[in-house]
Amino acid sequence: MRLSVLSVFLLAACDTPSTTFRGAPVQRITVAQSTFDVRVLDRRAEAIRLNGEWAPRLAAVEPRARIAIETVSGCKVTRLRGDQAIIMADLKCTNEPDPIPPPAVIFCDIQQETKISVAGALLDARCE
């Protein structure tokens, strides 16, 4: 009896999303011989492979996961990571602006206080 209860809990966890995607709507999609539950949240997605395949390699599953995620999200996958069972993706959607780049690091050899105009803004700098 204990074994059967434990088996139910273990099997139920097979398609449970990570904490980041808990509560996100799920879409089931089949690409070739792989079936995925795909969840999309902002610019990220998670695909959980549901079907049993004997020792699939990530190189075989990755293109199918990419197609599944792009089909469900309507966005382009820019980066994939994970394993044969759970694949995480970063997305680039055409209707979204590019993310703001991090601020540039400026090195200078100025030895005295000076005012510099950068892209229309006045910068009061002292570099030593």
* Dihedral angle of Cα 4, 9, 10, 16, to the nearest 10 degrees: 160
Q: In 3D, which of 76, 14, 7 has the Cα closest to residue 45?
A: 76
pLDDT of 127 strictly over 90: no
Look at residue 13 and tell me if it is in a domain: yes
* C-alpha span between 91 and 125 (Å, rounded): 38
Domain with 51 in it: 2-92
For residue range 23-44, what is the model confidence (pLDDT) as tens digits?
A: 888 999 999 889 999 999 989 9
For the segment 50-60, the average pLDDT, to the nearest whole number, is 84
* DSSP 8-state symbol, 18: P
CATH code of 75's domain: 3.30.200
Look at residue 10 and tell me if it is in a domain: yes
| Residue percentage of the chain with pLDDT more than 90 | 41
Look at residue 114 and tell me if it is in a domain: no
The conformational region for residue 39 under phi > 0 = left, psi -120 to 50 = alpha, else beta, is beta
Look at residue 48 and tell me if it is in a domain: yes
Using alpha carbons only, what angle is made at residue 65 by residues 11 and 67, rounded to the nearest 5 degrees? 140
Give the position of tokens 């610019």: 43
Structure tokens at 8: 């139910």
